[in-house]
Amino acid sequence: MINVVILGCGSITDWRHGPECRDSDKVNLVGFWNRTYETAKKFAEKFGGRAYESYDEVLADKGVDAIIVTTNNATHMDMTVRALESGKHVLCEKPLAVTAEEAEKMIEASRKTGKLLLTAFNQRLDPAHVALKRVIDEKTLGRVLSFETSFVTAGPEGWSANKTPATWFFNKDSAGMGAVGDLGVHKADLMSYLLGERFRSVYAAVRTLDKKGPDGDPIQIEDNGYAILESESGITGSLHASWVCYGRGGSQTVIHFESGTAVTDGAKLTLYHRDGKVTEVEITDKARVLCDVLAESVEKGVPEISGEDGLWALKTAVAAIKSSATSSKIDI
């Protein structure tokens, strides 16, 4: 059992980390910090634990083993480095930071302090993704040839605590990147994890197609991106990340193998065999949750989903944006 404090009381804490920590038998939810104390108090009343008045108070609390960072992207680096330096393990939301340099500082702080840094890539834990990893590793359909992966939504202003164009997600200084940094990193990590290798290059078209900020002008970060990725062993695939899919959003991965095609949304996995047979894979795995992964990683002394994983996905997103800006293929 580890003692955990959650930093940031917005949508993802309300929807995932609050309930998951409350219900976990591997984690003791000690409390919450938010930049507004009243919100932290509301979350403590809802999920248990106490509200902290300041972040310094959290850092000084020797009873806290680990911190879950769920504040806006631009604050991840500072929050995480301070937590690691005060002797606490960290599970940080994605994107790990707003630049690769910041993510490297976080990894360096983890190395120096010996405290673990994990990135919140929850898609790896989806039961159908776990089953798909088995299909790949056991070569059920043979060798992987190519893939198409997408994570497309109607945008964060329908999701975040501030449901207006003034959301921090639309502000370059607070978010760093748009849809590619927000959703693309999930899929870059998922594909890299499933294939068991990193991507070596990317070619992308990244645009701002529709989103407007509070002033009515187009936002300064991308709301849509398409990327062609090539892995170390030469597997190629497409990645679509978008905030402007208003009618039918979702998360989907299609993998083409020598002997067929696998299609999943993370919950269901269908195999289309080369001979025409279609089979549904029985999903037997129970969904694991991030706070349990954090607790198990602390117990083993090794981060299951590491800071390096967060850095690689971030580098892929940054390279996609650079590729689009320069109309050239970029090495990651």
Q: Identify which of residues 65 and 182 has a Cβ nearer to ligand NAD in the complex.
A: 182
Q: Identify which of residues 2 and 120 has a Cβ nearer to ligand NAD in the complex.
A: 120
State the number of binding residues for ligand NAD (CB under 6 A).
22
- On whether the CB atoms of residues 108 and 85 are closer than 8 A, the answer is no
- Does residue 12 interact with ligand NAD by CB under 6 A? yes
- Does residue 120 interact with ligand NAD by CB under 6 A? yes
Name which position in 94, 129, 240, 315 contacts ligand NAD (CB under 6 A).
Answer: 94
Nearest Cα to Cα of residue 183 among 155, 163, 147, 210: 155
Residue 152 host element (H or E): strand 144-152
Torsion sign over Cα 309, 314, 319, 320:
positive
Q: What residue is closest to ligand NAD based on CB?
A: 10
Please tell me whether residue 119 adopts helix, strand or coil conformation.
Answer: strand
What is the identity of the amino acid at 34? N
- Does residue 35 interact with ligand NAD by CB under 6 A? yes
- Does residue 154 interact with ligand NAD by CB under 6 A? no
Name which position in 136, 161, 228, 254 contacts ligand NAD (CB under 6 A).
Answer: 161
Whole-number Å distance between alpha carbons of 174 and 95 = 12
Q: What backbone phi and psi angles, to 5 degrees, belong to 50?
A: -115, 170
Q: Identify which of residues 122 and 316 has a Cβ nearer to ligand NAD in the complex.
A: 122
Whole-number Å distance between alpha carbons of 33 and 83 = 13
Q: Identify which of residues 30 and 289 has a Cβ nearer to ligand NAD in the complex.
A: 289
Q: Identify which of residues 125 and 135 has a Cβ nearer to ligand NAD in the complex.
A: 125
Whole-number Å distance between alpha carbons of 194 and 208 = 30
- Does residue 251 interact with ligand NAD by CB under 6 A? no
Whole-number Å distance between alpha carbons of 175 and 323 = 20
Nearest Cα to Cα of residue 292 among 30, 44, 68: 68
Whole-number Å distance between alpha carbons of 115 and 243 = 35
Give the per-residue contact string, 48-87, with ligand NAD (x = CB under 6 A; - = no): ----------------------xxxx-x------------
- Does residue 122 interact with ligand NAD by CB under 6 A? yes
Mark residue 87 as left, alpha or beta (left: phi above 0; alpha: psi -120 to 50; beta: remaining).
left
The least distance separating ligand NAD from the CB of residue 332, rounded to whole angstroms, comes to 21
Name which position in 43, 47, 168, 203 contacts ligand NAD (CB under 6 A).
Answer: 168
Residue 162 tokens read as 């501030």
- Does residue 182 interact with ligand NAD by CB under 6 A? yes
- The residue count of the chain comes to 332
Judged by CB under 6 A, the stretch of 8-16, 81-89, 127-135, 248-256 that binds ligand NAD is: 8-16
Residue 1 tokens read as 């059992």
Give the per-residue contact string, 187-216, with ligand NAD (x = CB under 6 A; - = no): ------------------------------
- Does residue 149 interact with ligand NAD by CB under 6 A? no
Residue 101 tokens read as 């340099």
The DSSP-derived string for 219-255 is: PSS-SEEEEEEEETT--EEEEEEES---SS-EEEEEE
Query: How distant is the alpha carbon of residue 229 from its chain centre?
Result: 18
The least distance separating ligand NAD from the CB of residue 119, rounded to whole angstroms, comes to 9
Q: Identify which of residues 187 and 330 has a Cβ nearer to ligand NAD in the complex.
A: 187
Name which position in 113, 160, 236, 252 contacts ligand NAD (CB under 6 A).
Answer: 160
- Does residue 126 interact with ligand NAD by CB under 6 A? no
Q: Which residues bind ligand NAD (CB under 6 A)?
A: 8-12, 34-35, 70-73, 75, 93-94, 120, 122, 159-162, 168, 182
